A and B are shown apart, each in its own frame.
Chain A
Amino acid sequence: MEINKQQFIQIIERNDARLKHLCRVYAADKADEKDLYQEIIIKVWQSLHQFKGNAKISTWIYRVALNVSISYVRKQQTRQKHYRVYRREKQTKPNFNYGSDKRGERKIDRLYNAINQLNASEKAIITMYLEDFSYTDIAKVIQITENYVGVKLNRIKKKLTKIIDKEYGI
């Protein structure tokens, strides 16, 4: 697909919020979030020629961004300075705290902390759902049937609610 840099930036700007939310879901901290965002932009730009127009560009970008995020987390975990087993550690020590303590955390921080305790596939499904992607889009990106998107979503919703109830007693 022939897109120049200016057009690409416009496309990114239209999908920017979704990408930034995704970075917050997968990154370990704010610095990581910024690196991951840059990584996604570069990879999407480099892979653009592979976009054949079979899906909406927004879905395609999200799919690339998801894959980049998962690889990024894995590479960071194997090589990095501040190693952590992210799922387990986050259960006791929420990662994103954006300047507030556990009691004072905003609803959105609680939600992110709960999502951080899910596995990579669960995170992908729930964030796509929260970003208003259709079941068809979610099914294509993950490679499961549409029916199972519903089944999985229900399971994830229950898990999330349980985590939030347990951690925040709400």
Chain B
Amino acid sequence: MEFDDFKQTWKQQETPENLDHTQEQLLMLLNNKVISFEEQIKARDRREIFAAILVTVIFGVFFFVLPSIWQKTGSAIIVFSGILIGYKIKTAQRESIKQETDPDTSLRNHLSHELQWMRQQKRLLKTVIWWYVLPLVIGIILFAIGFEGLIFKLVYIGVVILLGIGVLWLNKYAVEKKHNPIIEELREALSFIENSKK
């Protein structure tokens, strides 16, 4: 296919049927009758913060109610973890909003902001051991030491440690398989434009 054919081919293409919208459907979109992808993400973040608050409240009550010193210490650490996780998610959200560019900015600016955002997300995942896994696992283990029954206690602690390792592995996987390729892709796209400026 010669390049001259490309434009002709492009112009002759039919509009995909799945994207046919009536005026009424477009109006529904504008009237917020359709939940946008952005809204879905915000809803997910709200759920995560709600879960962090719930954990904080429940273990805050345990701290005062339970007699065991192990469970009191564990509860205090879990409460701290809940606050830390909520804070981290909220800060990431705030940063993300701050970094959002005007939608009508140039592609160059937009790519640069996207790259910055991705790097920030990568940093967050790479440090997940300090703000998520370790405080939570330590808190839960201490809490479990206060349980009765050695076998149950050991199994419980073993499961918690395995879960912690699983979470760490998943985050490492996400950085390597998701974030790094996207960062590379964005960097490549940006450098394609930036080389033109020289």
Contact = CB atoms under 8 A, between A and B. Distances in A.
A16 B14 CA distance: 12
B18 A34 contact: yes
Interface in B77-110: 101-110
Interface stretch (B138-146, B149-157, B163-171, B178-186): B178-186
A15 B186 CA distance: 27
B109 A143 contact: yes
Contact of A130 (B10, B118, B121, B197): B10
Interface of B: 1-3, 5-7, 9-13, 15-16, 18-19, 21, 23, 26-27, 29-31, 34, 36-38, 41, 101-111, 114, 117-118, 121, 174, 177-179, 181-182, 185-186, 188-190, 192-193, 196-197
23 contacts: A9-B27, A9-B30, A20-B19, A30-B16, A45-B29, A51-B104, A64-B104, A68-B103, A70-B114, A71-B114, A88-B181, A108-B9, A120-B107, A121-B111, A121-B189, A121-B190, A130-B11, A131-B10, A142-B108, A143-B193, A145-B197, A148-B197, A151-B196
Interface of A: 5, 8-9, 12, 16-17, 20-21, 23-24, 30, 33-35, 37-39, 41-47, 50-51, 60, 63-64, 66-68, 70-72, 74-79, 83, 85-88, 107-108, 110-111, 119-122, 124, 129-131, 140-145, 148, 151-152, 157, 160-161, 164, 168, 170
